[in-house]
Amino acid sequence: MNSAAVAIALADDLFVQCQTLSPWTVNYVDLEESLAIGSISQELLAQGGVLYELAGLSYEERDKRIFQRSASDWNIASLSFFPSNNWPDVVASGYITALASKIIVEDLKKTSESTAEQLVLVGREQTLHLAHWSQWISLLLVNPETKGEISMALNNAIKEAGDLLPVGKDYDLLYERWAEELKSKIAGFGLSAVSDVSRSSRVSGGSKVEKLIENLRGARNPDGLSSYSIY
């Protein structure tokens, strides 16, 4: 396993997840959930920083990677772009990406003792994120008015989840473990009529990445320096 490549890819995903999840701090669900989303978003950003460091990137190299790359150089998992207008879709995406992240981190921790020490907090936080989204799935399934929505959201998210983990023979066992665990956990919610995960490669660039870069550069210059004097 190319640990550095896996760590960087996951760090990129977590950075994008932070950016696309954080608007839900004001896309109102309720006050407590808005605060929770803010915390999760901050933790995703911090986890990405740990993974960039694990992969050997300096702060300067990290900023260059985030702020200077063109859209065609970004290869982000489809589900990292959290929906902006449908809460059950956010919950489903959050749950499935958290499960994938947790499994990747657990596998990275096996590569060395020092790596395991660096990723202890990341693993704990991913476990808490998974529990948070799991609780929301259960709440939405209990309510007859939202049961159909969350069931459909999970089904749709699974269809888009095939590029969350690396492709290639070196990662077959990791992928199989994730797919089996996902299937088991979905069944644990009492759901069976869900799509199988169809493994796929990531697609470079795209309109969502272009929009992300546009927003980032509205706050910072391509060299990473702030566009706002208040900073």
> What's the CATH number for 3-219?
1.20.1260.10
3-state secondary structure of 4: helix
| Helix H or strand E encompassing 182 | helix 172-188
Residue of 80, 92, 188 whose CA lies nearest to 149: 92
Residue 152 CA to residue 65 CA, distance in Å, equals 36
Beta strands in the chain (DSSP E): none
The tens place of each residue's pLDDT in the chain, 231 residues long, gives 789 999 999 999 999 999 999 988 877 667 788 889 999 999 999 999 999 999 999 988 998 898 888 999 999 999 999 988 899 999 999 999 999 999 999 999 999 999 999 999 999 999 999 999 999 999 999 999 999 999 999 999 999 999 999 988 999 998 989 988 998 999 899 887 556 678 889 999 899 999 888 888 776 666 656 665 544
Residue 15 CA to residue 196 CA, distance in Å, equals 27
Which of 187, 184, 163, 186 is closest to 175 using CA atoms?
Answer: 163
Domain positions in the chain: 3-219
Residue 94 CA to residue 134 CA, distance in Å, equals 9
Amino acid 38 reads G
Query: In angstroms, rounded to a whole number, what is the distance separating the alpha carbons of residues 189 and 216?
Result: 38
| CA atoms of 69 and 60, how far apart (whole Å) | 13
Residue 230 is predicted with a pLDDT of 45
| Res 63: pLDDT | 87
Is 219 exposed, middle or buried (CB count within 10 Å of its CB: 0-12, 13-18, 19+)?
A: exposed
Collect all residues with Cβ–Cβ distance below 8 Å to 84 and sequence separation of at least 6.
20, 23, 27
Tokens of 48: 């990405």
Burial letters for 168-197: b for 16+ Cβ neighbours within 10 Å, e otherwise? eeebeebbeebbeebeebbeebebeebeeb
CA distance 2 to 201: 16
pLDDT computed for residue 58 by the predictor: 93
Q: What is the pLDDT of residue 79?
A: 95
